[in-house]
Structure 1
Amino acid sequence: MSVTDITGGTPATFGVGARPTPARGSDASASAGAAPAISRNGTVDTVSLSPDALRAMKTGVIAFAAPKADDTAAKDPVAAGMDAVMARRDHELKRADYMRQAMGMLRQALNLPEDQPVFLGGAANSLLDRLAAKNGLSKPEMPDALRAAGGQDPSEESANEEAGVIGIGMPNSGRELQVVFDRLGVDALSGGKDGSLRMIALTEGNDRSGPLLGAIKGGALGRLTDTRPGQGARLWAVTDGDQGPNARVLASVRSVGMDDIATDLAAGLLKGLKGLSA
């Protein structure tokens, strides 16, 4: 798979301040995220972000759902609380080990850099679980005590998400790359021939920028694509080869300080995603 980078012009202003409000879907309840996974070279992978965590990262507002009380907690809240604490600790240890192994598989499958943190959101969480299962790695089940307290596995929340995000580098660090992909679009690519994709820079003075940016904001990618202005960010639309205003947008690529590798890294990542979906 090849990606042609169509650039030129002045970087466009992608938003008017705040991020766009998601166009569809109800808010999921807040859930506990996975423990950080340490890669072989010591970098930290921030993984399995729930929809609430992604919104918090974008808006700076964090909301927590209150634990649900059950009959056991009402009768003996101290014992129920201790059971939940022990269950959470045991589950987090098991999940941290699972995530370390699964993220190693994902880095290898998608040729992700070993020296950069990686974070996942949306459909990318369930993609990670499918990859692990294909390689014989079982995900630890969430204990009943945690479910009774309102806990939910992030990958369960994202099982039916239309889009996923894979980020390289720490958000708001001054150097990051985010690739948001349309799950159905990648699935469609996996069933066809290996064609050339177009990576179109959304710049001022480019007649394609307006319609393509509108397609990103109004489609499946809008919920996860960061279109905030400033930070020296650049944004691209990746299409199925068409350059016209009606082109099908399969992914968006946002770079802050990583423009030099954005095209090659996005091409390799999308090629890897196509292979995993085949």
Structure 2
Amino acid sequence: MQPDLLSPAHTAQLASLMATHSPLVHCLTNQVVPSFTANVLLAIGASPAMVVDHEEALAFSAIADALLINIGTLTREQALSMRAAIDGANRAGTPWTLDPVAVGPLAFRSRFAREILAHKPAAIRGNASEILALAGYGSGGRGVDTTQTAQDALSAARELAQRSGAIVAVTGEVDYVTDGECMLSVIGGDALMTRVVGTGCALSAVVAAACTLPGSRIENVAAACGMFARAGKQASDRCQGPGSFPSLFLDALYHLSTEAHHDTH
């Protein structure tokens, strides 16, 4: 099955919806990226919250519009908060997104990711090695880095989507998004995005936000990838290197959001 190419119109539509609805995203994420993730969500018009205590996480995930579970620096204490947040989200009907960072080579997080997979995430966003490992193929990549291309993981992504009921986004030089039947591809971005910490983790937060918006969930998740690809290309064209990239990337996301919102009003 040949993936369909995401249209730029879908990306612009999502940017406008994000600014209009301003979803509140509860982020249980890794210790390296909270500030960047929050800034990305604010740039696109969404609202971030980082509520980490397990008792509060249970209550807050029912208040939030979306929940992100990112296991990048997973601890046993954080796993407790994540289980509580997923429980609260599922009871309230709040969609949650899984970012299975470094699943495969590390046993604790791999067991945990497979355990929470049974609790029906709305979306899963990972690199090729992570998606292959989560689907049961191979042992994953080199830490947080992938050793495969996104195209290598297409069958695994489709199978994982069918089994979990989630929209699965496997990101790389080209991003692929599937619901187990249809598949969309997203082109763009720049290799410099892999030289800055947190771009993939922040994308997962935007995917979580996208899952709350009206319309087709697969198109909304693909359009979230499209927003990142477009902003990444714009930032890399203007920056001097990885030091100046993050601020230009945030600017590009902000302008993409405000322009799309303005164009629809």
Pairwise TM-score range, normalised by the shorter structure? under 0.3
By relative contact order (CA 8 Å, sep 6+), the higher-ranking structure is: 1
Higher normalized strand content (fraction of residues): 1
- TM-score, scaled relative to structure 1: 0.27
Higher normalized helix content (fraction of residues): 2
